[in-house]
Chain A
């Protein structure tokens, strides 16, 4: 009986610990390595497509860093500028991915040189059923990738900058 009575209290404590912002968690930006050189780059390709990608690990934000796919970029605060870019690149740490042509999530992680996580994906708010690497980053795509629980809110749309 005592164990049974204690169970609800333990459950309440565990549940409360996972809610709200009473216990601050460190963003995984601290574990995000600096962007490396892309495999190949050309001189300032034009961005013909843009996608927004949000990454989460166990409910925590994982920042998509500025400078992915930019060789010899110059950092200006949170931004990285550079003319020698791969077919896909990031200039800001907001999840905004610029592309010379529509690409895939696999291409983003490949350029970033990070392994794709074992995670679930959402495209424009709908669960992605196929292989994560093939999740399309087409122009205007809003992508959410989440590894583990709890799940963060899934945004279905993103207002891109002009």
Chain B
């Protein structure tokens, strides 16, 4: 039985710790600052200044947020396949930056918004915010300006939308989802443990039967 236990422990120890992956630049940058800006093209100074100021304002107002602006696959490093898969990337990023906290996380890609821990009213807050894909990084920054202010407001921290974001507020459709844990991520390890327990119990039972015989 000891051999089986050691084997199971070895398998578990060698299994990749998916919750602590480190392949995307945003996860490292967001440990030190509140916004990850795309590599290229660079967002304009006016918009980055406005967004940084807004992030400070919401933090001071009691609703600190983290924002990742993802303009292209190179902003995803080892996960270029997640470009356009906004919610799955938000789920990954939320785990990577949640060491001792559960941050309010917003991800903006040309294809839409996603996030984690943004409150129950997030969909209503983001409705009508247009992401101007043609404006590239500036389009993402403008959309983030509007989104951050509206999300903070929806969560009880009234914050005006900065004037720099005005062009992004329109009638287009915006989508947002709260994160939903993957069945594979959480179910896999539990299944593995259940199988191990079953095997150990079966070995024990057989041994007892042998001893009784």
- Give how many B residues have a beta carbon under 8 Å from the other chain's beta carbons: 50
Name B5's contact: one of A11, A152, A155, A157 (CB within 8 Å): A11
Chain B residues near A77: list those with CB within 8 A: 29, 32-33
Residue of A whose beta carbon sits closest to that of B81: A159
> A34 at the A/B interface (Cβ < 8 Å)?
no
Complex contacts, A130 vs chain B, CB 8 Å: none
Whether A7 touches B200, Cβ cut-off 8 Å, given contacts A15-B8, A29-B31, A77-B33, is yes
- Contacting residue for B193 out of A16, A78, A162, CB 8 A: A16
Q: Is B62 among interface residues, defined by CB-CB distance under 8 A? A: no
Chain B neighbourhood of A117, CB < 8 A: none
Alpha-carbon separation in the docked complex, A161 to B40 (Å) = 8
Contact between chains at A8 and B99 (CB < 8 Å) = no
The interface residues of chain A, by DSSP majority, are classed as loop
B119 within 8 A of A: no
Give me the interface of B with A, judged by CB distance under 8 Å: 1, 5, 8-9, 12-23, 25, 28-29, 31-33, 39-40, 73-78, 80, 95-96, 98-101, 185-186, 189-190, 192-193, 196-197, 200-201, 204, 207-208
A15 and B193 in contact, given A150-B13, A150-B17, A160-B74 (Cβ under 8 angstroms): yes
Bound form: Cα–Cα A3–B12 in Å: 22
Tell me whether B201 and A8 are in contact (CB under 8 A): yes
Taking a contact as CB atoms under 8 Å apart, the answer to whether A24 and B98 are in contact is yes
Q: With A11-B193, A60-B20, A78-B31 given, name 15 new contacts (CB 8 A).
A: A8-B201, A11-B8, A19-B12, A19-B193, A26-B99, A26-B100, A27-B31, A77-B33, A78-B32, A95-B28, A150-B15, A150-B17, A157-B78, A161-B40, A162-B39
Q: Which of B76, B95, B96, B197 contacts A12 (CB 8 A)?
A: B197
Interface size on A, residues (CB 8 A): 48
Q: Which of chain B's residues have a CB closer than 8 A to the CB of A157? A: 78
Task: Please tell me if the beta carbons of B197 and A8 are within 8 angstroms of each other in the complex.
Answer: yes
Query: Could you tell me if A7 and B5 are in contact, using CB atoms closer than 8 angstroms?
Result: yes
A19-B189, A25-B99 known; A63+B28 contact, CB < 8 A = yes
